[in-house]
Amino acid sequence: MFVRVVEVKTKPGKAREVCSMLHEKVLSTLKAQTGFVDEIVLVSDAEGILAQSFWKTKEDAERYSHEDYAKVNELIQHLVHSKPKVHAFDVQTSTCHKIISGKAA
């Protein structure tokens, strides 16, 4: 399993608005993507947003990144300080997804 972690530094007081927008307008697109497993979004009024999307493979995540992620950036551009930072990781373990050594159980 693979995860994309996206750090979003929002403008003051806009973090929850960005979360709502992502939930309403982006989640359905994510759910329709091949290999999409789950999305966890963390929000902080002081720090912004940290979004984790879980994918079956790195290739599935990269396909989404190349084909649809730019639309997300355009959608939230007026609510953020700078372009979101994207980090990529292999998932080693997860109690929620019952993952051991990078493989879904």
pLDDT in tens, the chain (105 residues): 999 999 999 999 999 999 999 889 888 889 999 999 999 999 998 889 999 999 999 999 999 999 888 888 888 999 998 889 999 999 888 777 655 555 554
DSSP class of 79: G
Work out how many domains the chain is built from and give that number. 1
Distance CA 18, CA 80 (A): 9
Structural domain for 59, as ranges: 2-104
Q: Which CATH number belongs to the domain containing residue 75 in this structure?
A: 3.30.70.100
Closest CA to 21 of 47, 53, 43, 52: 43
